[in-house]
Structure 1
Amino acid sequence: MTPPKPASRPDKVSLLRYLRLFRADILSAQPARLYRAWMAEFRTPFFRSYLCNDPALVDLVLKARPADFPKSTRINEGLRPLLGNSVFVTNGAVWQRQRRIIDPAFEGGRLRDTFPAMLAAGRAAVARLAPGVTEIEGHTSHAAADVIFRTLFSIPIEHAVARAVFDQFRDYQRTQPILNLAAFVPLPRWMPRFHRRRTLRTARAIRALIEQLTATRMAEIAAGTAPDDLATKIMTTADPVTGDRFDTAEMVDQVAIFFLAGHETSASALAWALYLLATHPQAQERVAAEAAAFAADPSFGALSKLRFTRDVFREALRLYPPVPMMVRETTEPERFRDRDVAPGAQVVLSPWHLHRHERIWDTPDAFDPDRWSREETRACAREAYMPFSAGPRVCTGAGFAMVEGPLLLAQIVAAFRLQAEGPPPVPVAHLTVRARDGIRLRLTPRPPG
């Protein structure tokens, strides 16, 4: 079967109608022509935006001249109560300093160190699952949060503070924080952003809990008793340029985005990967065979045995990129495809449309993990695949996610046979691409051995 895809809006709608559609779901608020267009211009009374699917333009913005196209503040306005001044929202020298401190924690050698914690989180996730019909997105959120807390602070999700952060974050998501007035209307700095009270309350609660974890870790580092995990690595790394380290307040900002990006995006991708396998039994059995071989030797080196499983996860990221759109801003006059673009314009790069572009991909809407082993896909992967962004601002946790995702996927499929239940889930996008009414799967235990 063809994986579900949201319906597109009519090509022309009023601004009010568009805002209402956007508020309901970012993806279905877009016209179908974007799956074929190289570029599209959208005009509002407040700003102009240009959605760019042309690989040359994407390369220009993300790789060739990234400093000339900083992150737009519009989309980030709604997230600031939680993320503060984290690496996700900053630009320029501040962002560069933050990356110099954060990146060493996610280098290749550190992935081997975090593997045991990921493996333990996967086993705990399997233990929480039960035979029968279940809504799987809740379980993948739980599992991804467990991975974050085990690798970052060496505590499981069952830890009281970790559990409280997880529960508050679920409440925070329901407030739809990204749909802030400032995302649509340019507001002066002094003007209030009119965040929902619930958004502000849950953001404060999450940050207070993270501050508690961070302050405790600071004390453990000072006493020489801190575990050698990601939090310790980041908090003890000095900026090679200035010699500065993150203080507690800065670390709270960074932990907030690690949790948001590392937990929410992984949970989304894992849930869709499980659904795709549930609707494609042959692919599921191939993953189960690899998972059985891995289970006989569950080591970091044995991850190479999960080759097809990794391609399944890559294909899930192609069809359902957790972050469907990213927005940059022009700082000087530009010329895009023979069209003049003024400073201050919004440049929208859409992994959702780029990954399904009809002029780039063969059978773009089909689930085909084997495409990743074919020669013709290599050009597509270079030019039109960016689930973790690209260039200098590529997600620092991309390598982490590509270990975590296939590992958890293999562990779940090794334990259960999956079958889809009910109507196909409808993808919607707010913070990440999720299913409007959840993803229901029937789980049947696999015989041991």
Structure 2
Amino acid sequence: MIDVRPYVGRSPLALVRAFWRDLRSGIAEMDAVGGDLVIASAPVLPPVVLVRHPDLLRELLVDRNADVTKARGLRLARRILGDGLLTSEPPVHTRQRRLVLPAFHHGRLRQYARQMVELTEAEADRWAEGIPFDGAAAMSRLALAIAGRTLFGADVLSDANRVGRAVHDAMRAFDGAQFPFADKLMWLPTRANRTANRARATLDAVVYGLIADRHAAPADADDLLGMLLDARDEETGDAMTDLEVRDEAMTLLLAGHETTAAALAWTWLLLAQNPHAEARLWAEVDALDGPPSFDVLDRLLVTRATFAEAMRLYPPAWAVGREAARDTSLGGHPIPRRATILFAPLHLHRDARFWDEPLAFRPERFAPEARSGRHKFAYLPFSAGRRGCIGEQFAWVEGTLVLATLARRWRLALAGPPPHPHGSVTLRPAGQLRLVPTAR
């Protein structure tokens, strides 16, 4: 029998207000109730269900996938992302995923890996001995450059600052997206709506610019943008419109760089706080015969485990929502239509039922020999099932190679207090991550 518990901490409407003000604290309140399912009910609103057990997550993400859709937050994200992979539903999602998937096949990852290392070396060249810099901003700049070069064949570094500001503004606008009637109020000239509209206009200028450049000078480029522009509908033979290309490009450019950038920033913070783990990482990268590459990924197991453990403690996709499209159930417990169903990797990954010393930074728990006894659905930095992250393998290659490349050249120490996490679309540092580089 599953352990189903009601949420009784605040009144339901007070919990709604808590979600509106700070999504992370609202979910934390529900998670603190414990059990396998936590249910918050209100007289006039659909219930909110928090799933806290891996068995139920497997049921939700695999067995009941057809019973749920994306939740309100990601539907509202359409105002920025459009109808791309992250926000669309079948049959659009199924068609688009099939078109995009070849861009992440093994052979493409080998090609991307060379560019990842080259751009990481260029980022490392920017740093100077003893001069502090914002590690979160640096990782965002680097991840954006990698996404632009590998997926779109373009140098987007000149746009890095305005893209960064636009993403920050879009995240702020999203913070109010959990308000029950937010989707009915997007037309109002509120400060949040004006901020979101400006962010979209900025990001549109960048992405439509990439599309226009490719139209003006068609290249024989074997990248995602070329694949999208060359794609033809199986039934009609029609090409994708520029709007359709824009929506997929926007989703993959933003989601592909923002999540990896956040994961890398938290990794450097954790390494700076854990010198023993840092030393093991150095020993591994120093043992390489040359620069990191796709061909030596099997020799970078400590590096990959370090990245994995950072995403356990600070998963970029820290909370995921679904909405019941019809009456369904989890673990035999009825879930009514329109219920919001949440799960939070941030809390799941720190649950003592599934992890020893859950708050400790221990990359060795992801060594190959240590993974066999772990429940597959107790670790979900990329979600799972048919809606799991299409770029998961891309992110593993990128995170491992970036860490290895930078760790060969620099030691990064904290300069000042570490930033607190802010839970918006992603779990990102709330302020600057001040790091001081020392050449190795």
Q: How much has 1:96 moved relative to structure 2?
A: 0.6
Which residue does 2:54 correspond to in 1? 55
Aligned 8 A contact 2:324 2:336 in 1:
yes
Question: Does residue 443 of the first structure (1) align with residue 433 of the second (2)?
Answer: no
- How far did residue 49 of structure 1 move? 1.1
Q: Shift in Å at residue 418 of structure 1?
A: 2.2
Q: 1:323 to 1:38 in 2, by over 3 A?
A: same
The Cα shift of 1:256 comes to 0.9
Q: In structure 2, how many angstroms separate the alpha carbons of the residues matched to 1:360 and 1:137?
A: 30
Indicate the residue corresponding to 2:180 in structure 1: 184
SS class of match (1:30): helix
Matched, 1:296 2:295: no
Which residue of the partner structure matches residue 70 of structure 2? 71
SS at structure 2 position matched to 1:327? strand
Displacement of 1:21: 4.0
Cα distance change, pair 18–301 in 1 and its aligned pair in 2 (3 A): same
Pick which of 383-392 and 423-432 moved more.
Answer: 423-432
Counterpart of 1:150 in structure 2: which amino acid? R
Residues 394, 46 of structure 1: alpha-carbon distance in 2 compared, 3 angstrom cutoff: same
Listed as ranges, the gaps of 5+ residues in structure 2 are 1-6
Check 1:243–1:49 CA distance in 2 against 1; reply closer, same or farther (3 A cut).
farther
Aligned to 1:359: 353
**Partner Cα separation in structure 2 for residue 156 and residue 15 of structure 1:** 49
Return the alpha-carbon distance in structure 2 between the equivalents of residues 167 and 374 of structure 1: 36
Matched residue SS, 1:365: coil
The Cα shift of 1:13 comes to: 2.8
Q: Which amino acid aligns with 2:194?
A: R
Counterpart secondary structure, 1:51 = strand
Partners of 2:60 and 2:330 within 8 A in 1: no
**1:4-45 deviation digits (Å, cap 9, x = unpaired):** xxxxxx972345654554345322333466264311112244
CA deviations 1:327-377 (Å, max 9, x no partner) are 111122223345322111111121112111121111111111101126564
Shift of 1:169: 2.6
Partner of 2:89: 91
Q: Deviations over 1:231-255 (max 9, x none)?
A: 2133324455665542211011111
Tell me the equivalent position of 1:332. Answer: 326
Residue 204 of structure 1: which of 198, 201, 205 is its match?
Answer: 201
How far, CA to CA, are the matches of 2:260 and 2:118 in structure 1?
A: 16
> How many angstroms does 1:50 deviate by?
0.5
The corresponding residue for 1:30 is 27
Identity, in percent, stands at 33
- The residue identity in structure 2 corresponding to 1:96 is T
Distance 2:297 2:370 in 1: 25
Q: Do the aligned residues in 1 keep the contact of 2:229 with 2:245 (CA within 8 Å)? A: yes
* 8 Å CA contact retained: 2:20, 2:178: no
Q: 2:175 is paired with a residue of what secondary structure? A: coil
Q: Structure 1, residues 159-191: CA drift from partner, whole Å, max 9, x if none?
A: x4x446524534534x61213456423756997
Contact 2:20–2:179 (8 Å) recurs in 1: no
* 1:105 maps to amino acid: A
* 1:126 counterpart residue number: 124
**Paired residue secondary structure (1:196):** helix
Distance 2:347 2:56 in 1: 14
- 5 Å-filtered alignment, 1:77-116, equals 77-116=75-114
Question: What SS does the corresponding residue of 2:400 show, helix, strand or coil?
Answer: helix
Separation of aligned partners in 2, 1:411 and 1:376: 26
**Distance across 1 between alignment mates of 2:167 and 2:22:** 18
* Cα pair distance change 1:30/1:68, threshold 3 Å: closer
TM-score, normalised via structure 2 length: 0.89
The answer to whether the 8 A contact 1:135-1:440 is kept is yes
Determine if contact 2:147/2:253 at 8 Å carries over to the other structure.
yes
- In the alignment, the residues of structure 1 paired with residue 63 and residue 333 of structure 2 have an alpha-carbon distance, to the nearest angstrom, of 19
Deviation at 1:419, TM superposition (A): 2.0
